[in-house]
Amino acid sequence: MIKVYILDTNVLIHDPEAIFSFEDNEVILPIYVIEEIDKLKKEQTEVGSAARRTARNIDKLREKGTLSNWIKLDNGGYFKVETKGNFKNLPDALQNEVMDNRILSVAYEISNENSEKEIIFVTKDINMRIKADSLGLEVQDYETNKIRIEEFYTGNLDIEVEDEKVNEFYNNGYLKRKEIGEINLYPNQTVTVISKKSHKKQGLTVYKKNKDRLKKMTFGKASIWGVDGRNKEQKYAIELLMDMDIKVVTLIGKAGTGKTLLALATGLEQVVERHLYKKLFIARPIMPMGKDLGYLPGGEKEKLKPWMQPIYDNLAFLSANKEGKEAEKLADSLEAMGLLKIEALTYIRGRSIPAGFIIIDEAQNLTPHEIKTVITRAGEDTKVIFTGDPYQIDNPYLDANSNGLTYLAERLKGEEISGHVTLLKGERSELAEIAAKLL
């Protein structure tokens, strides 16, 4: 049976290509969604960018025919914009001019008029799903690009081996993969080989697919910009961050695990000290501000400072001064030399950045589409680091399963240019660690 999918606005903001993601079924866009897209497209944010991309996609479909009639899509499906829908046909409690209810009214009418078809309303808004369900509509979340967080690739693996295998690793600096049995490993996966004889006897390794061996770390035990890995996951993170053959690194962990600090330290080391990259770019999505930066007072730096304060806090630690002033001086000095740029993620879009070391902090607030946009901006010899906690999301339409950070780590796990580490242990105060675990 052909299914009819009616899309909410947030689906298209999450994925501007969503119209083309329903195979050979029918896709309907309520006219009210077009109105919302029109309002959002003016924003100079990632949301505005997605709205403009959506508008361009719909406008291109006009070349195939009138949008109020069914238009054949390349994937075999059909698309149209629905102009009918009266919220006064809804139950009394929903008879108001709230845009969500107008969109619901379209799905409600189409469902009532086409009982022979399977009508499905698709939205990423939890409350819209609740309201749609209360109206008797079949409703779904937008599942494309979702992963199952309980099956998520952690990047880390512990393996018990015979004691002589650990000795072999110590002596040779590597261990052939076949020596640990028939275990499926991904490129740049971090593997701790543990002696069955004594669990204290361990080897920290990274799997290199091109040589099919577990390689001893080169940088993981070194002090980088004054920072030492305090636990094995931090050591693994340093190893991947310093490896120039790895172009994309994802670091996931709760607050206090050191993901942002490690990214900053290795970035400064490779840009300022070793001159391996031309510039260090640090960016964050500005989701929690709730509005475009243009509405905030001051110049670009003043607008960004409240949201970028965690970056300055980490720079303060790295410059061995907890007051923060030295951190700003360090940032100003490096910016003056053209070695550092701290900016909102919005400003990176549309640029190609060659030979840069790019850190995207709080990446769990990005959609898969936004993550893709960032990566496609990376020029030749550029490395991109994404850090975040998938359980601390400010974007109301994302969760641990649908955010761009977990999507990226899962999709790139088989690529030799990518690496992923899940940081497990907090290295802040005992109080902060307990709070992160229990509150």
- Both tokens of 86, joined, read 């009266």
Query: 381 in the Ramachandran plot: left (φ > 0), alpha (ψ -120 to 50) or beta?
Result: left
User: Contact 386/357 with Cβ under 8 angstroms?
Assistant: no
- Both tokens of 22, joined, read 């329903």
- Both tokens of 414, joined, read 């088989």
437 membership: H or E segment, kind and range: helix 430-438
User: Contact 363/395 with Cβ under 8 angstroms?
Assistant: no
Residue with the larger pLDDT of the pair 296 and 115? 115
Query: Average pLDDT in the 15-40 region?
Result: 96
390 membership: H or E segment, kind and range: none
Distances (CA, A) of 169 to 176, 202, 229, 317, 432: 9, 10, 21, 36, 37
Radius of gyration of the CA atoms of the chain, in A: 25
Residue 190, SS3 per DSSP: strand
Other residues' Cβ atoms within 10 Å of the Cβ of residue 93: 9
Residue with the larger pLDDT of the pair 176 and 434? 176
pTM of the predicted protein model:
0.83
Q: How confident is the model at residue 289 (pLDDT cuts 50, 70, 90)?
A: very low
Q: How confident is the model at residue 439 (pLDDT cuts 50, 70, 90)?
A: low
Q: How confident is the model at residue 371 (pLDDT cuts 50, 70, 90)?
A: very high
- Amino acid 160: pLDDT: 94
Query: Average pLDDT in the 73-78 region?
Result: 95
Choice among 29-38, 156-165, 286-295 with the minimum mean pLDDT: 286-295
The string of pLDDT tens digits covering residues 118-176 is: 999 999 999 999 999 999 999 999 988 888 888 899 999 999 999 999 999 999 999 99
Residue with the larger pLDDT of the pair 57 and 428? 57
Residue with the larger pLDDT of the pair 123 and 439? 123
Residue with the larger pLDDT of the pair 115 and 30? 30
Q: Residue 283: what are its φ and ψ, rounded to 5°?
A: -140, 155
CA 177 to CA 189: how far, in whole Å?
Answer: 12
Task: List % helix, strand, coil for the chain (3-state, nearest 5).
Answer: 40, 20, 40
Query: Average pLDDT in the 353-378 region?
Result: 92
Q: What is the DSSP string of 124-150?
A: S-HHHHHHHHHTT-EEE---TT---GG
What is the rounded average pLDDT for all residues in the chain?
89
Q: Residues of the chain with pLDDT > 90: what percent?
A: 64
Strand order in the sheet with 279-284: 340-344, 279-284, 356-360, 383-388, 248-253, 418-423
Q: How confident is the model at residue 321 (pLDDT cuts 50, 70, 90)?
A: very low
Q: How confident is the model at residue 327 (pLDDT cuts 50, 70, 90)?
A: low
Other residues' Cβ atoms within 10 Å of the Cβ of residue 374: 23
The string of pLDDT tens digits covering residues 175-228 is: 999 988 889 999 999 999 999 999 999 999 999 999 999 999 999 778 899 899
- Both tokens of 41, joined, read 């497209």
Query: Average pLDDT in the 297-319 region?
Result: 78
Q: How confident is the model at residue 320 (pLDDT cuts 50, 70, 90)?
A: low
